[in-house]
Amino acid sequence: MSLIVVGSVAYDGVETPHGKIDRMLGGAATYISLAAAYFTSVKLVAIVGDDFAAEDVDLLASRQIDLAGLERVPGKTFFWSGVYSADMNDRTTLRTDLNVFAGFNPKLPESYRPAPYLLLGNIQPELQKSVRAQMPTLKLAGGDTMNYWIEDFRRELLETIAQWDFLLINDSEARLLSGESNLRRAAPRILQMGPRTLVVKRGEYGAVLFHGGCHFFAPGYLLEEVFDPTGAGDCFAGGFIGYLAGRGIQPEDGRIDWAELRRAVIYGSVMGSFCCEKFGVDRFRTLTRAEIEARFEEFQTCTAF
């Protein structure tokens, strides 16, 4: 069933130990959409400038991603650049030019509003909230956030996530949001803020899912080469929500089927792992659903005992 993805579509400059690309397609909503589109139909909401290249539109369109909500305005597309540390566990931002993204005020096309699934990428909490309000028949909604919103827009963020079914954040964000350094104690605090499902992403170490008093570990896939981790967390989110939307999963009395949630987290890890295999979105130019299924089975082999 249809999934609305809201967030940044950008150009990125990235340097990793494997090379340097001055400008390539990026942005959270791009990665989320490309990953989710393997599982369900995706409708994108984002803003780009008049420099946004036809070939990048074509890539998104080739995945049957609905671009009716991709606003195009005069000016330049959001640009971000950064450089990764030798082990690629840290990165330093070199440049952030918001450009047209500074005026982003997502308005959903009429055709998007009845969609049952919503994934909100990391943008201003007030904007995330306004999108949620435009979708009266939602079945499942959630998203991502970051330290900046947790620290400086805490009230707005808490109001926003109170309406979400799930929250996907990394471990340092979970600590910041909960005020608890211990993850086992941080999780119930966050679950009291509204979302009944919490996924804590731990980079190369995988993710932990919390729901209904249970938790589940997804390991990080051991890649032989990590070319570029940019977008891996967003692809995780895309695989997670894409799988749930594709299966038509929805909460019943606040509870989501535990087996399906666990599989969704593994598909998230699968999509995050593929993302790192090439620069930017390149892996998604050739990736097939059969490769995704094969890696899902590999996760089973590597964790069952």
Would you tell me which residues interact with a second copy (CB under 8 A)?
86-87, 181-185, 202, 205-206, 208, 214-217, 219, 222-226, 259, 262-263, 265-266, 299-305
Q: Provide, rounded to whole angstroms, the least separation between the CB of residue 266 and a second copy.
A: 6
Residue 188 CA: distances (Å) to CA of 211, 253, 265: 9, 18, 19
Least distance to a second copy, CB of residue 262, Å: 4
| 3-class secondary-structure state, position 93 | strand
In a 13 Å sphere around the CA of 249, the CA atoms on its Cβ side amount to: 24
Both tokens of residue 159?
Answer: 């109001």
Mutual angle of helices 258-275 and 232-246, in 10-degree steps: 140
CB of 279 to a second copy, least distance (A): 17
Q: Which is nearer to a second copy, 53 or 223 (CB)?
A: 223
What distance in Å separates the CA atoms of residue 196 and residue 245, rounded to the nearest whole number?
17
Nearer to a second copy, 120 or 276 (CB): 276
CB of 117 to a second copy, least distance (A): 21
Nearest CB to a second copy, comparing residues 18 and 72: 18
- Considering beta carbons, is residue 54 or 304 the nearer one to a second copy? 304
Tell me the closest approach of the beta carbon of residue 75 to a second copy, in angstroms. 41
Tokens found for residue 143: 């998203």
Closer to a second copy by CB, 18 or 23: give it. 18
Closer Cβ to a second copy, 109 or 219, answer by number: 219
Distances 225 to 18, 221, 284, 286, 297 between C-alpha atoms, Å = 9, 11, 16, 17, 20
Distance from C-alpha of 70 to C-alpha of 262, rounded to nearest angstrom: 32
By beta-carbon proximity to a second copy, the closer residue of 93 and 182 is 182
Smallest gap from Cβ 248 to a second copy, in A, equals: 19
Nearest-approach distance from CB 208 to a second copy, in angstroms: 7
In the chain, at which residue ranges do the beta strands (DSSP E only) sit? 3-6, 10-16, 19-26, 42-48, 66-72, 79-84, 91-97, 117-120, 140-144, 166-170, 197-201, 207-211, 214-218
**What CA dihedral angle connects 176, 217, 201 and 195, to 10 degrees?**
-60
